[in-house]
């Protein structure tokens, strides 16, 4: 009897919740365009202005902040979880400052005790070989991302890709650095912040050939849908490093668009293609840069720039 009564109570609660989930309408005009005013705790009809509900509970904090600094000072929660750390940033760390809560120096006996505690705390943060692998790989991703100057979102995506590769046992038989570098390269492409394999290999401890091979294997096994890199995404960065004007940048994008429509981009390296378009645009805009200068910035050879340049000017009907 008791069980059946409880079941009936649960069913009635479920029905009540289902009724509450029904779309609310304004009793005055029947409109469903109801807007919540968080400051006043009211539910207002957007069409006729009727206050449908008032005195709603505000789930936000009891304090008010008017800028980011005030919000950081008044907030009483810890840092958010992150995929860029092997323990997601949930463990606490013992500070290396030998100070107490009041900022005073601690005694030598306490210092030696804290040193031992720090050492053991570092040891117990990783419980097995898998976590040690992850800790080293994520630190490598963070180091390379800092050297490349990519935003934090790329590091988060790279960490997620590496975790997926580790869960699917794709690391076996491959170096940790190689898989970590490939994950970072994939994250850069996925986030629309292209970095060439040459740039990635410059900050990595593995060779370019191994990065490319590992990247193809991981993207195939994990089913990463990667679109071809658009050469126009390289143009702003290359033009900035070459100190070229907006006019050259706009002309280079125009050259890439017109020649790509004719099918010249198929099978070509996007960095070399962008570099040749910038070289052609600099000549057309009377801001000449040598092939060597453009090649050094794009990390391609002068022969590549010459070949792509000749193809592009012929396709556009420009005589050199």
The crossing angle, in degrees rounded to 10, of helices 270-284 and 235-242 is 50
Of 220, 239, 223, 228, the residue nearest 282 (C-alpha): 239
Given a cut of 80, whether residue 250 has pLDDT beyond it is yes
What architecture is domain 129-222? Answer: Orthogonal Bundle (1.10)
The crossing angle, in degrees rounded to 10, of helices 129-148 and 176-190 is 50
Q: Residues 79, 85: contact at Cβ < 8 Å?
A: no
Bridge partners of 37, per DSSP, are: 42
pLDDT of residue 123: 78
- Residue 265 sits at φ, ψ, to 5 deg, of -75, -20
Distance separating alpha carbons of residues 266 and 311, to the nearest angstrom: 12
pLDDT of residue 4: 53
Least confident interval from 8-12, 66-70, 113-117, 244-248: 8-12
As a whole number, mean pLDDT of residues 149-169 equals: 92
* DSSP H or E segment with residue 294: helix 291-298
Strands 42-45 and 34-37, by their bridges, are antiparallel
As a whole number, mean pLDDT of residues 154-177 equals: 92
Q: pLDDT-based confidence at 132, cuts 50/70/90? A: confident
Percent of the chain at pLDDT exceeding 90: 30
For CATH 1.10.472.10, list the domain ranges present in the chain. 129-222, 231-316
Burial class (CB in 10 A: 0-12, 13-18, 19+), 189: buried
Of 153, 156, 171, the residue nearest 221 (C-alpha): 171
pLDDT of residue 9: 54
Distance separating alpha carbons of residues 196 and 198, to the nearest angstrom: 5
pLDDT of residue 17: 47
* DSSP H or E segment with residue 316: none
Q: What is the phi-psi region of residue 81: left when phi exceeds 0, alpha when psi lies from -120 to 50, beta otherwise? A: beta
pLDDT of residue 7: 55
pLDDT of residue 226: 81
Segments in 75-231 forming alpha helices (H): 108-124, 129-148, 152-167, 176-190, 197-203, 208-222
Which residues sit in the known binding site? Answer: 26, 29, 45, 48
As a whole number, mean pLDDT of residues 69-87 equals: 78
As a whole number, mean pLDDT of residues 199-206 equals: 91
Distance separating alpha carbons of residues 306 and 315, to the nearest angstrom: 14
In eight-state DSSP terms, residue 236 is H
Distance separating alpha carbons of residues 126 and 219, to the nearest angstrom: 28
Given a cut of 90, whether residue 186 has pLDDT beyond it is yes
As a whole number, mean pLDDT of residues 34-51 equals: 81
pLDDT of residue 1: 41
Stronger pLDDT, 229 or 282, i.e. the higher one: 282
The CATH number of the structural domain formed by 231-316 is 1.10.472.10
pLDDT of residue 288: 86
Distance separating alpha carbons of residues 87 and 134, to the nearest angstrom: 9
For the chain, the residue count is: 320
**Mean pLDDT rounded to a whole number for the chain:** 84
Given a cut of 70, whether residue 101 has pLDDT beyond it is yes
Q: Please report, to the nearest 10 degrees, the dihedral formed by the alpha carbons of residues 250, 252, 256, 258 taken in order.
A: 70
Least confident interval from 12-16, 105-109, 160-164: 12-16
In eight-state DSSP terms, residue 99 is B
Stronger pLDDT, 123 or 262, i.e. the higher one: 262
Given a cut of 90, whether residue 131 has pLDDT beyond it is no
As a whole number, mean pLDDT of residues 34-61 equals: 79
Q: pLDDT-based confidence at 5, cuts 50/70/90? A: low
Q: What is the phi-psi region of residue 173: left when phi exceeds 0, alpha when psi lies from -120 to 50, beta otherwise? A: left
Given a cut of 70, whether residue 93 has pLDDT beyond it is yes
Q: Residues 155, 84: contact at Cβ < 8 Å?
A: yes
Distance separating alpha carbons of residues 299 and 230, to the nearest angstrom: 17
Q: pLDDT-based confidence at 179, cuts 50/70/90? A: very high
pLDDT of residue 118: 87
Which residues sit in the known binding site for Zn(2+)? Answer: 26, 29, 45, 48
Apex CA 206: angle with CA 173 and CA 85, to 5°? 75
């Amino acid at each position: 009897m008791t069980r059946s009564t409880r079941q009936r109570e649960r069913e009635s609660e479920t029905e009540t919740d289902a009724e509450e989930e029904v779309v609310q309408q304004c009793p005055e005009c029947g409109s469903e365009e109801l807007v919540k005013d968080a400051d006043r705790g009211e539910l207002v009809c957007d069409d006729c202005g009727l206050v449908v509900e008032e005195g709603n509970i505000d789930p936000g904090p009891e304090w008010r902040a008017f800028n980011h600094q005030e919000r950081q000072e008044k907030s009483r929660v810890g840092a958010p979880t992150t995929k860029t750390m092997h323990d997601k940033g949930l463990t606490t760390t013992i500070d290396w400052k030998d100070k107490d809560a009041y900022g005073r120096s601690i005694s030598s006996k306490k210092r030696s005790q804290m040193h031992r505690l720090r050492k053991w705390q570092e040891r117990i943060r990783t419980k097995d070989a898998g976590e040690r692998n992850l800790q080293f790989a994520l630190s490598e991703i963070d180091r390379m991302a800092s050297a490349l100057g990519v935003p934090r979102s790329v590091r988060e995506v790279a960490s997620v890709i590496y975790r997926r590769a580790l869960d699917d046992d794709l690391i076996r038989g491959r170096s940790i650095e190689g898989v970590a570098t490939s994950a970072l390269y994939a994250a850069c492409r996925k986030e629309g912040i292209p970095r060439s394999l040459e740039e990635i290999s410059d900050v990595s401890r593995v060779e370019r050939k191994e990065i490319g091979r590992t990247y193809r294997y991981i993207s195939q096994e994990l089913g990463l849908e990667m679109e071809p890199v658009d050469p126009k995404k390289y143009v702003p960065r290359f033009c900035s490093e070459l100190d070229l004007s907006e006019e050259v940048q706009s002309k280079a994008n125009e050259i890439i668009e017109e020649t790509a429509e004719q099918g010249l981009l198929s099978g070509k390296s996007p960095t070399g293609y962008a570099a040749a378009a910038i070289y052609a645009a600099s000549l057309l805009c009377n801001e000449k840069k040598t092939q060597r200068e453009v090649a050094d910035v794009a990390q391609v050879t002068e022969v590549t720039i010459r070949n792509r340049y000749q193809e592009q000017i012929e396709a556009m009907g420009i005589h050199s």
